[in-house]
Copies of this chain bind each other. A is one copy, B any other.
């Protein structure tokens, strides 16, 4: 009894942006600037938005599919996944998210999010009012273009996942997923010398790859035996990225990461 967490998305502890950690605006600007030019006026517009911060615990629901959200979320810290449910209870994770990722940008123009979002492990979320964000997108065409481009990259990601799930076997599928994670984490400074925190449980990996959890387990053991990927608890290590990329048939073009490199 009592209200279940599931009944109310974003019920975690809330606080306004006064903290010392980077807030919504800083992270949003940093992310968008990796692919779109943003002038000082645009940056100021972001900074002027009123943001809220929420702490969530493991397996907390952040956004609920089909339920219109008045706020637009960005992951400040931790990991999250967007997922869709089937009537029989099976779950497909359609994207994994790391610090700096927008979580529900599609809901800016569509009536309701088409997938739920929940946390893997404890996480921190920042949000701004949907209308506020829509307003500055209307006032600053460069911001609209940047956000649009961000959603296009998100879509490209989904298409790559389709290729991954539809055509690759379990071994390559997981290798590919971890190649993507490594690169995206590196882009936000969370990939440290081949290792990174990774609180997604094997059940979560199973939901993301369309495999069963026990098969995920066995394949992870093979990857470890082959020296490609060491996953222990919440810690991942990739001794040889090139080898892992080869095993996963990984080509990072679809991520559209900073082309300055």
Contact B86 A256 (CB under 8 A): no
Contact B158 A155 (CB under 8 A): yes
| Chain A: number of interface residues, binned into ranges | 35 or more
Contacts of A210 in B (CB 8 A): 165-167
Task: Name A147-168 residues within 8 Å CB distance of B.
Answer: 148-149, 151-156, 158-163, 165-168
Known contacts: A155-B155, A254-B114. The answer to whether A163 contacts B66 by CB under 8 A is no
Q: Does residue A119 face the partner (Cβ distance < 8 Å to B)?
A: no
Which residue of chain B lies nearest to A207 when distances are taken between CB atoms in the complex? B166
Among the 9-residue stretches A17-25, A137-145, A234-242, the one with 4 or more Cβ atoms under 8 Å from chain B is A137-145
A115 to B158, CA, bound (A): 12
Task: Name A224-251 residues within 8 Å CB distance of B.
Answer: 249
Contact A110 B256 (CB under 8 A): yes
A43 → chain B closest CB, angstroms:
20
A235 to B160, CA, bound (A): 31
A161 to B114, CA, bound (A): 12
Contacts of A209 in B (CB 8 A): 166
A168 to B85, CA, bound (A): 11
Residue among A94, A149, A153, A168 with most chain B CB within 10 A? A94
Q: Does residue A1 face the partner (Cβ distance < 8 Å to B)?
A: no
A162 to B163, CA, bound (A): 9
Known contacts: A109-B149, A110-B149, A141-B138. The answer to whether A92 contacts B166 by CB under 8 A is yes
A66 to B209, CA, bound (A): 25
Contact A163 B106 (CB under 8 A): no
Enumerate 14 A-B pairs (CB-CB under 8 Å) in ascending A order.
A66-B253, A82-B159, A84-B163, A90-B167, A94-B163, A109-B148, A114-B156, A114-B159, A114-B160, A114-B253, A144-B144, A148-B151, A154-B155, A166-B209
Q: Can you name 15 extra interface pairs (CB under 8 A) apart from A94-B159, A110-B149?
A: A84-B159, A86-B167, A87-B249, A92-B167, A94-B162, A114-B254, A115-B159, A138-B141, A141-B144, A144-B145, A154-B155, A158-B159, A161-B162, A162-B165, A166-B209
Q: Could you list which residues of chain A lie within 8 angstroms of chain B, going by C-beta atoms? A: 66, 82, 84, 86-87, 90-92, 94, 106, 109-110, 114-115, 138, 141, 144-145, 148-149, 151-156, 158-163, 165-168, 209-210, 249, 253-254, 256
